Chains A and B, each alone.
Chain A
Amino acid sequence: MPITVKNLSYTYMKGTPYERAALKNVSLEVEDGVFLGIIGATGSGKSTFIKHLNGLIKLTEGNGGIVVDGIDLTAKKPDLKLVRQKIGMVFQYPESQLFAETVLDDVCYGPRNMKKSREECEALAKEAMTLAGLDFENFKGRSPFELSGGEKRRAAIAGVIACRPEYLILDEPSAGLDPKGKDDIYALIGRIRAVDKVTVVVVSHDVDEICEYADRIAAFDKGEIFAEFDAEDIGEYGRVLREKGLGIPLTARVAEELKRRGIEADFKVREKDFTESVLRYYAAKRAVKKEGGGL
């Protein structure tokens, strides 16, 4: 079942001089199996939004409603443990949550909290580490503190997916990594989706990156969602996105520029698809030319 958010509002430090409205009347539906990207400038409320989804920030009355997989978070005492089991949450810089002596121990922390047996924990950890691209035998005994930046982050993500969540929410999962590290993270997300049909929400301010992987996109600005669309259609939102300081991916910009010069076709947004659609366009054009020449 989907995650449904209706008219959500939230203000930090209400009633003090530091008061700050972080979310204003946000509504959004995350459908099953979708890869949703949330984009927005820094401070637009993205992190605040996702913290609401697993009850880390409590809903106050009259500030909207959230239903996760049929569990109403506005209820008096929602089963937060169950919600947190369903939603795997990877926070910004998740490597800062690593604490155990070995990677295996750390990855087992979640399953252990869910009262799984020792064997079950290890089996789940093995599966999670393999999905995260960390060779189980090689990494299980190593200290999480001696890994490289990218490995640390993948170990931390493994710790979250070891709980077998049905939804995986990641806050800026690629921030501060090198290009190879970024690719590794998205490859990992791809593997999880393929194996478990997990619904994925990724928060990022990098529009290029998000469009490369996400199906649908919700764009935040000053605590509000100002646009929601299929990633493929992002070209149509160029103007508003630029106004909000976000911009559109390189491929969409190239398509825009081509259009301005009279070259119009169904150019795709994802890099590989884009290249192909361009090649297809020129192949078709050449074919037309050849035919024309033959006459």
Chain B
Amino acid sequence: MKDMTFGQYYPADSPVHRLDPRTKLLFVFFYIIAVFFIESFLGYAAVALYIAVIIIASKIPFKTVLKSVRAVIFILLLTMLLNLLFYREGEVVFAFWIVRVTGAGLKFSLTMALRLILLVAGTAMLTFTTTPTALTDALESVLKPLNIFRINVRDFALIMSIALRFIPSVREEADRIISAQKARGADFDTGNIVRRARAMLPVLIPLFVSSLRRADELALALDSRCYNLSDKRTKMKVLRYKTADLGAAFYALIFVGLIIWDRLFLTGIAGRII
């Protein structure tokens, strides 16, 4: 594990880190909606500016955030390419052989790319500034109303936190096994896709075996600590809203304004006229 995993918690002492995780969760919720509703480039610029302010406040280097975007660069380029090639509406601005690129297609693929970048940067900010435990606590708290549908939110939160907790462990294990097979002359980097996929088998099989064993051991550990015996569990760290959260909530309201502005004036009726 030489690089930091995508969205791994980035410890720092900043106002963003100190916010209540529920506030941040709600924030990201609004953020995602905004990114999906906004359609104009000016709107995106505003969202980018907005997230930039948060990044500065969080004391996380821009480079680190960019790195998390780099993790999805392949998907990004692929979607851009597909959109470019298969978007059929609008005037053709570029044609070669069977390829036809339309002006609208160009705009659409750029829009999708911007959306993806902003989405990754925004959600990465949540996981950069919130520990996995705080995040699951927040989820449990936010989803509590679902209890009336007989969905056991507490178990759900536990599953979440276990999954998050084991991502680094499984990664480490994978690294270890890859090293071991490489030392036996395994070659993961040459050959066509089928060959490469086959080459991964000696890594995947032991990884599954060890993950299943780990799950077994974890179940035993939970049982032996009497998990599930009492329905009412208390928490060691109780979540409490602070004044800063109120301020942050106001900051989140800007989104609503942004969407309205974008829809009405930039891409909406007024936008078309311009």
Most buried by A among B3, B10, B185, B201: B185
* Cβ–Cβ < 8 Å partners of B180 in chain A: 89, 91, 94, 96-97
From A51, which residue of chain B is reached at the shortest CB distance? Answer: B179
Assess whether B194 is interfacial by the CB under 8 Å rule: no
Q: A92 to B64, alpha carbons, bound, how many Å? A: 32
Q: In the complex the two chains form, is A13's CB within 8 Å of B4's CB? A: yes
Assess whether B186 is interfacial by the CB under 8 Å rule: yes
Q: A49 to B205, alpha carbons, bound, how many Å? A: 28
A87 to chain B, nearest CB (A): 8
B52-110 CB contacts (< 8 Å) to partner A: 64
Assess whether B273 is interfacial by the CB under 8 Å rule: no
* Cβ–Cβ < 8 Å partners of A12 in chain B: 1-2
Q: In the complex the two chains form, is A113's CB within 8 Å of B206's CB? A: no
- Given that A96-B206, A96-B210 are contacting pairs, would A54 and B183 also be in contact in the complex, using a CB cutoff of 8 Å? yes
From B202, which residue of chain A is reached at the shortest CB distance? Answer: A99
From B205, which residue of chain A is reached at the shortest CB distance? Answer: A99
A74-129 CB contacts (< 8 Å) to partner B: 81, 84-85, 87-89, 91-92, 94, 96-100, 109-110, 113-114
Q: In the complex the two chains form, is B205's CB within 8 Å of A109's CB? A: no
Assess whether B257 is interfacial by the CB under 8 Å rule: no
Interface size on B, residues (CB 8 A): 27
Most buried by B among A17, A54, A160: A17
Assess whether B12 is interfacial by the CB under 8 Å rule: yes
* Cβ–Cβ < 8 Å partners of B179 in chain A: 51, 56, 89, 91
Most buried by A among B177, B183, B202, B203: B183
Residues of B participating in the A interface, judged by any CB pair closer than 8 Å? 1-4, 10-12, 64, 173, 176-177, 179-187, 201-203, 205-206, 209-210
23 A-B pairs in the complex with CB atoms less than 8 angstroms apart? A12-B1, A17-B12, A51-B179, A56-B182, A84-B182, A89-B183, A91-B179, A91-B183, A92-B176, A96-B173, A96-B210, A97-B184, A99-B201, A99-B202, A99-B205, A100-B202, A109-B181, A109-B202, A110-B184, A110-B185, A113-B187, A159-B184, A163-B184
